Amino acid sequence: MSGMPIPLCYTRHTHLAQRKGNGAPVRQDVIRIGVDLSCLMSRPLTGVGYYTLNLFQALAAGYPSFDIRVMASSARPRADLFRPFRAQCSRVRIVPWPTRLKNRMWTTIEWPPFEWFTGPVDVAHGAFHLLPPSRHARRMATIFDLSNLRCPEMHRAESFGIHAPLLRHAAARADRIVAISESCKTDVVELLGVHPDRVRVVLGGIHLQEFGGAQDDHLLQILRKRFSISGNYLIHLGTLEPRKNLPRMIEAYARVRHRFEDCPRLVLAGQAGWMFEDVFSSIERLRLSNHVVHTGYLERNEAVCLLRAAHACVYPSLYEGFGLPVLEAMAARIPVLTSNVSSMPEVVGDTGILVDPKSVDAIEAGLLELIENRTASRQRVEAAYERAKQFTWENSARALAEVYTELTE
């Protein structure tokens, strides 16, 4: 980068945004929000990407009083997901900047300033762990989870080395930290030493209409044929990685399958992450190759279609910052089995089956409950759907808007 820093203003500014009938400009206060949405450059999109994309689209659509200015960077930038933002935001800047270089420069020398990419802003917001540098704007960062610190054994050393410096830098320098659940906030306070007054919670959400209406039976049949899925099936949505706890879940599933020959198949819908070999070795060791299906990564409409047609969602994760697949299952009106740790109870409440994720016996008992007690499952489904209505992206955007307003008052 070259050139001199842009002169900055760090309070709400007066913006000539509208005109009266006689053509005279009307003055109104506007809060200028600069957001680093580089996490949307990752392909394929996972939970972080879906949360970020939906939240900021809802914010841009619902809060015209904010002047939203977006930057995103990647060594190989792709701009397709940013097309909707170009109509909703005053500036969208895509920068061919390697992620590791940006991370290092922003967390060590805090240069170059965020405003080089966005122009003057009142709030500089890093949407995924990285705090943008600015000498004048109020600064904030969103933290999705602290599994790198809480459960380092479930991550590669490389991942720990990338995220730990970002998290500690944000914890030390940010005016506000956004956590995506109360559980995540607790971890931010405990593991990063951030005072609770500096942390705000902005929950994830859903579009209810995405899970309602008529099912796409044609697409469902295509997917069933493609992956050889016949009859009823249980579904797990998510990357195959250690914290998803899949070897224990598969062990419990094998026990249930031994007891019930008509046990539904198990569908693992998600890309193979690191140490995915443990999952497939469990399937082979337990002779489940004909009963467990791995689809790989699915496009969004495909994942929703398979989810809606499933017998139940099984998600006994060891740690989740929020757990979007569980909420989506609730919105899809299918029974949920998940874990009783981290954010899962916060999302599910008493509308799902909560189990100790480290106990194969507990997961087995939960699976038996799903299969044997269908009346209770249907009752929980309706309660879960009503609970899911509270988690909308509009509500999420409202919570984030309150943080921006608070910071600039």
| Residue 217 CA: distances (Å) to CA of 208, 222, 306 | 19, 9, 10
Please report the pLDDT score of residue 148 as a whole number: 85
Mark whether 348 and 307 lie in a shared domain: yes
Stated as kind and residue range, the H or E segment containing 150 is: helix 147-150
**What is the chain's mean pLDDT, rounded?**
90
> In terms of domains, do 369 and 263 share one?
yes
| pLDDT for residue 203 | 98
How far is it, in rounded angstroms, from Cα 207 to Cα 390? 11
**Judgement on whether residues 254 and 186 belong to the same structural domain of the protein:** no
For the ranges 104-113, 255-264, 337-346, 352-361, which has the lowest average pLDDT? 255-264
Q: Are residues 226 and 167 in the same domain?
A: no
Of 31, 33, 117, give the one whose Cα is nearest residue 71: 117
Place of tokens 């879906």: 50
Domain count, the chain: 2
Residue 5 lies in a domain: no
Q: Does some domain include residue 35?
A: yes
pLDDT band at residue 369, thresholds of 50, 70 and 90?
very high
CB atoms within 10 A of CB 354: 20
Tokens of 200: 């705000």
In a domain, 156, yes or no: yes
Backbone angles phi, psi at 12, to 5 degrees: -55, 140
Structural tokens at position 398: 């409202």
- Tell me if 7 is assigned to some domain: no
Are both 195 and 229 inside the same structural domain?
Answer: no
Tell me: the pLDDT tens digits for 257-295? 999 888 999 999 999 988 888 899 999 999 999 999 999
- Per the structure, the complete domain to which residue 367 belongs is given by 208-388
Residue 377 pLDDT class (50, 70, 90 cuts):
confident
Q: Residue range 30-34: average pLDDT?
A: 96
Does 355 lie in the same domain as 269?
yes
> In whole angstroms, what is the distance from residue 45 CA to residue 47 CA?
7
Please report whether residue 8 resides in a domain: no
pTM: 0.90
d(CA 226, CA 236): 18
| Least confident stretch, 84-88, 221-225, 230-234, 316-320 | 84-88
How far the first Cα of the chain sits from its last, in Å, is 33
Tell me, yes or no, whether 273 lies in a domain.
yes
CA dist 26 and 217 (Å) reads 52
Q: Quick one: 213 exposed, middle or buried, by C-beta within 10 A (0-12, 13-18, 19+)?
A: exposed
Tokens, residue 11: 């309070």
Strand partners, 69: 34, 91
Residue 375 has pLDDT above 90, yes or no: no
Average pLDDT of span 305-330: 97
pLDDT band at residue 17 using 50, 70 and 90 as cut-offs: very low
Domain match, 258 and 336 both: yes
162-210 per-position pLDDT tens digit: 889 999 999 999 999 999 999 999 999 999 999 999 999 999 999 999 9
Same domain, 233 and 371: yes
**Do 397 and 360 fall within a single domain?**
no
Task: Report yes or no on 183 lying in a domain.
Answer: yes
Q: Would you say how long the chain is, in residues? A: 409
- Which residue has better confidence, 6 or 53? 53
- Give the CATH number for residue 398: 3.40.50.2000
Of 395, 226, 408, 209, the residue nearest 302 (C-alpha)? 226
Q: Check whether residue 185 and residue 231 sit in a common domain.
A: no
How distant, in Å, are the alpha carbons of 182, 195, 251, 358, 401 from that of 200? 9, 11, 39, 30, 11
Same domain, 186 and 142: yes
Whether 177 and 234 map to the same domain: the answer is no
